[in-house]
């Protein structure tokens, strides 16, 4: 065990591990990358996190740089849960619900808590957290907040950033801060502090004031995004101020989250699901654009294409045989309503059926739980399709999260199909149709040079398409390492400089998850490609084909 690990072992109450097996296990996440860390820590409490950060800060002051990567359950597909130095694994000990107010629905938790467990606890109080990822059973709430996740309900509720009320965060120098929206008066107190916290408040406030036109531009971003840093939500017109939006979606690059307070929504277990099959993109687009105009907002508008159904059928026909009949339709559209009022749901379902009929499609309304579960199984199958494959080819998460303004829906989807055709690949698409946010997994063999070259060609063509259509490279899975080379192109160089200045304010020694979000080019990610792709680290939690 090296000196740093030895020091940490002596000073932390949680475990410190440097065994080859552990380092190998934590060298991958859900992405196509691999980086072997040098030390694994399992913080038992906030003090452990604080001591780790303080120690690495002191080393950095003496020109010795040991990065820290926070980690939940490592399901991130952008390569943000791996790193060279210390990987701090939160789910082992820091995994409790600390407070749940069943009246207001406000809940305070530790970051390592499994998202699925939190959701179960909330359900028993008639509440739920709507922006849950489809990976909720094998991911943490800390990972979700640090990534700014979204999911099937995001058409109605947006990303998790809309639900985070406050945080406790360990800063890069080991200081602990609490964030929440502050009044002008409370802000002026913070601005007067002589601590690192005070420096941060002063520097962020100045950065926003000096660049307010640029910061305002972030607000005009047409689509939901988890890319970059959410500077636009820090200072409001009434001069109130909140650092929380910066940490949400920062992928552990600005601070280490130790406590999260969230708002929740009333849970309606009774839902109505309307399902219809389309043959053409234009049909689907026409239907979805009318659905988006409805008074009762659908709680989900999901799409699965025939290419994906074909692929699942080829890989493992048993998985799909009872869920959808052959020949598979071109596109399946699923529309859900969760309005608390049953009559409102019935009315919305009738209206939705009519919208489908106007495009010549007979849609079916489902209220029976067994039927609905079967249909959602199909959607869940689509979402867990990463890593499926024949022989050594795997469905890779490399272009899985682009989102464009809704009026670009048909151009985007056609652009995706053309891209696959040009590259001799079979398209397989699913996603959140209501927001033109599609998940696409090209099937490639990462070990083959030809496929690797193709992969980088696809990456470039795809992200250029998304940016050209005025979209965001990431609606919910964030920049990480894979999309970091496109952040500057997405936002422009002025904004990119601003993001870098912000990073410097919080993390001047670049200890926190370096190589994620900023300062990364395509050439930097090529050497860290895995030689084969799998989601081995999730086998405990995720049924695989
Ligand atoms: C099959 C599959 C389906 C998925 N579906 C969705 C989906 O529907 N929607 C979606 O948004 N995502 C989805 N994801 C991506 C991923 O599962 C989510 O982003 C999830 O919330 C990550 O949680 P985690 O615990 O695995 O975090 P990790 O992967 O361990 O970490 C994610 C990021 O959070 C940071 N982090 C973790 N804990 C902390 C902390 N305490 N302080 C600071 N930073 C921290 C890490 O450094 C990293 O940058 C999917 C992934 C897979 C493999």
Question: Which mutation among 40, 41, 139, 515 tests ligand 1's pocket best, with the greatest number of atoms within 8 A of CB?
Answer: 139
Ligand 1 cavity residues, CB under 6 Å: 29-30, 69-77, 80-81, 90, 111, 133-135, 139-140, 142-144, 146-147, 149-151, 251-252, 256-257, 383-384, 386, 476-477, 513, 535
State the distance from the centre of ligand 1 to the C-alpha of 507, rounded, in angstroms: 22
The token duo for 409 is 């829906």
Give pLDDT, residue 545: 41
Which residue CA neighbors atom 44 of ligand 1 most closely? 252
Give the position, in ligand 1's atom list, of the atom nearest the Cα of 476.
Answer: 11
Nearest CA to ligand 1 atom 40: 257
In the predicted structure, residue 542 carries a pLDDT above the cut 80: no
Residues 6+ apart with CB under 8 A from 321: none
**pLDDT for 127-162, tens place per residue?**
999 999 999 999 999 999 999 999 999 999 999 999
Which ligand 1 atom sits nearest the alpha carbon of residue 94? Answer: 41
Instruction: Annotate 190-241 with three-state secondary structure.
Output: HHCCCCHHHHHHHHHHHHHHHCHHHHHHHHCCCCCCCCCCCHHHCECCCCCE
Dist CA 66 CA 56 (whole Å): 6
Q: Which residues contact 469 (CB under 8 A, 6 or more apart)?
A: 404, 405, 408, 411, 412, 415
Alpha carbons 115 and 112: distance in angstroms, whole number: 9
Name the residue of 46, 50, 109, 149 to mutate for ligand 1: max ligand atoms within 8 A of Cβ.
149
Atom of ligand 1 nearest to the CA of 542: 1
Q: How far is the CA of 188 from the centre of ligand 1 (A)?
A: 35
pLDDT tens column, 260-271: 999 999 999 999
List the residue whose alpha carbon is closest to atom 3 of ligand 1. Answer: 135
The pLDDT value recorded for residue 325 is: 87
- CA 141 from chain centre, in angstroms, equals 11
Give the Å distance between the CA of 115 and the centre of ligand 1.
10
CA distance 141 to 113: 6
Q: Which of 30, 31, 72 for a ligand 1 pocket mutation test, highest count of atoms within 8 Å of Cβ?
A: 72
Neighbours of 407 (CB within 10 A): 14
Angle between helices 212-219 and 196-210 (to 10 degrees): 80
Residue 106 token pair: 């406000």
Helix (H, G, I), strand (E, B) or coil at 404: coil
Stated length of the chain: 545
Please enumerate in sequence order all residues whose Cβ is within 8 A of that of 303, keeping only pairs 6 or more positions apart, or say none: 284, 331, 332, 333, 334, 429, 430, 431, 432, 433, 438
Best residue for ligand 1 mutational test, from 32, 46, 87, 135 (most atoms within 8 Å of Cβ): 135
pLDDT attached to residue 388: 82
Judge if pTM exceeds 0.95.
yes
- Express each pLDDT in 69-84 by its tens digit: 999 999 999 999 999 9
Q: Tell me the CA–centroid distance for residue 198 and ligand 1, in Å.
A: 30
Residue pLDDT, tens place only, 106-135: 999 999 999 999 999 999 999 999 999 999
d(Cα 110, Cα 94) in Å, to the nearest integer? 5
Query: Do 78 and 482 touch, CB atoms closer than 8 A?
Result: yes
Q: What is the atom index within ligand 1 of the atom nearest the CA of 140?
A: 25
Per-residue pLDDT at 183: 97
Rounded Cα gap, residues 543 and 540, in angstroms: 8
> Ligand 1 pocket: which of 31, 44, 46, 71 to mutate (most atoms <8 Å of CB)?
71
| CA atoms lying within 13 Å on the CB side of residue 366 | 17
Find the mean pLDDT for residues 190-196: 96
Q: Which of 21-35, 285-299, 409-423, 525-539 has the lowest mean pLDDT?
A: 525-539
DSSP state at residue 490: H
Nearest to 43 by CA among 1, 15, 67: 15
Q: Three-state SS for 484?
A: helix
**Cα-to-centroid distance, 60 and ligand 1 (Å):** 28
Separation of CA 517 and ligand 1 centre (Å): 15
**81 Cα to the center of ligand 1, angstroms:** 8
Query: What is the whole-number distance in angstroms between the Cα of residue 46 and the centre of ligand 1?
Result: 20
pLDDT at 289 over 70: yes
Classified as helix, coil or strand, 300 is: strand
Q: Do the Cβ atoms of 8 and 16 come closer than 8 Å? A: yes
295 Cα: distance to centroid of ligand 1 (angstroms)? 33
Centre of ligand 1 to C-alpha 78, Å, is: 9
pLDDT 10s digits, 382-395: 888 888 887 888 99
Kindly report the protein residue whose alpha carbon is nearest to atom 49 of ligand 1.
251
Q: How far is the CA of 147 from the centre of ligand 1 (A)?
A: 6
Give the model's pLDDT for residue 543.
56
Question: For residue 544, is pLDDT > 50?
Answer: no
CA of residue 400 to ligand 1 center, whole Å: 14
What is the mean predicted confidence (pLDDT) over 52-64? Answer: 97
Closest CA to 116 of 139, 92, 137: 137
Q: Output the CA 285–ligand 1 centroid distance in Å.
A: 30
Residue whose CA lies nearest to ligand 1 atom number 17: 75
Q: At what angle do helices 281-292 and 342-358 cross, to 10 degrees?
A: 150
Maximum separation of any 2 CA atoms in the chain, in Å? 70
Please report the pLDDT score of residue 465 as a whole number.
97
- Residue 143: predicted pLDDT: 98
Tens of pLDDT, residues 198-233 = 999 999 999 999 999 999 999 877 678 999 999 999
Residue 404, preceding peptide bond in cis (omega within 30° of 0) = no
Residue ID of nearest Cα to ligand 1 atom 9: 133
State which of 26, 79, 81 you would mutate to test the pocket of ligand 1, scoring each by most atoms of that ligand within 8 A of its C-beta. 81
């Amino acid at each position: 065990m090296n000196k740093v690990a030895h020091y940490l072992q002596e000073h932390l109450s949680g475990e410190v591990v440097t065994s080859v097996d552990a380092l190998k296990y934590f060298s991958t996440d859900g992405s196509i990358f691999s980086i072997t860390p040098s030390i694994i820590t399992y913080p038992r409490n906030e003090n452990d996190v604080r001591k780790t950060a303080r120690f690495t800060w002191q080393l950095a002051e003496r020109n010795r740089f040991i990065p820290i990567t926070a980690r939940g359950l490592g399901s991130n597909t952008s390569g943000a849960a791996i790193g060279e130095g210390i990987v701090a694994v939160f789910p082992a000990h820091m995994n409790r619900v600390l407070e749940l107010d069943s009246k207001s629905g406000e809940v305070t938790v530790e970051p390592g808590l499994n998202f699925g467990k939190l959701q179960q606890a909330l359900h028993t109080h008639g509440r739920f957290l709507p922006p849950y990822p489809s990976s909720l059973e094998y991911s943490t709430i800390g990972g979700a907040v640090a990534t700014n996740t979204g999911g099937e309900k995001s058409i109605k509720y947006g990303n998790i950033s809309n639900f985070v009320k406050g945080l406790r965060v360990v800063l890069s120098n080991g200081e602990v801060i609490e964030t929440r929206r502050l009044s002008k008066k409370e802000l002026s107190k913070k601005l007067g502090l002589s601590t690192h916290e005070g420096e941060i408040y002063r520097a962020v406030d100045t950065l926003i004031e000096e660049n307010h036109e640029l910061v305002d531009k972030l607000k005009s971003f047409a689509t939901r995004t988890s890319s970059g840093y959410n500077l636009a939500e820090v200072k409001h017109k009434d001069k109130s101020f909140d650092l929380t939006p910066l940490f949400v979606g920062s992928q552990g690059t600005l601070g280490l989250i130790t406590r999260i307070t969230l708002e929740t929504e009333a849970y309606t277990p009774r839902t109505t699901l309307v399902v219809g099959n389309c043959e053409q993109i234009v049909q689907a687009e026409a239907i979805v654009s009318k659905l988006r105009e409805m008074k009762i907002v659908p709680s989900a508008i999901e799409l699965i294409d025939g290419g994906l159904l074909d692929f699942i059928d080829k890989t493992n026909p048993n998985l799909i045989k009872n869920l959808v009949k052959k020949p598979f339709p071109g596109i399946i559209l699923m529309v859900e309503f969760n309005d608390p009022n049953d009559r409102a749901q019935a009315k919305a379902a009738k209206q939705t059926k009519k919208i489908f009929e106007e495009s010549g499609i007979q849609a079916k309304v489902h209220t029976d739980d067994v039927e609905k579960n079967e249909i959602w199984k199909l959607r869940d199958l689509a979402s867990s399709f990463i890593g499926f494959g024949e022989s050594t080819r795997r469905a890779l998460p490399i272009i899985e999260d682009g989102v464009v303004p809704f009026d670009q829906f048909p151009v985007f989807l056609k652009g995706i199909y053309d891209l696959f055709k040009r590259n001799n690949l079979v398209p397989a698409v699913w996603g959140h149709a209501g927001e033109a946010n599609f998940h696409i997994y090209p099937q490639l063999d990462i070990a083959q040079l030809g496929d690797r070259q193709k992969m980088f060609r696809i990456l470039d063509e795809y992200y250029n398409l998304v940016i050209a259509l005025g979209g965001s490279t990431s609606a919910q899975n964030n920049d990480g390492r894979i999309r970091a080379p496109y952040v500057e192109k997405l936002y422009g160089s002025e904004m990119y400089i601003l993001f870098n200045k912000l990073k410097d304010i919080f993390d001047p020694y670049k200890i926190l998850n370096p190589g994620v979000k900023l300062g990364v080019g395509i050439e930097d990610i090529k050497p860290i490609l895995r030689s084969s792709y799998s989601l081995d680290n999730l086998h405990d939690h995720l049924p695989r084909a």
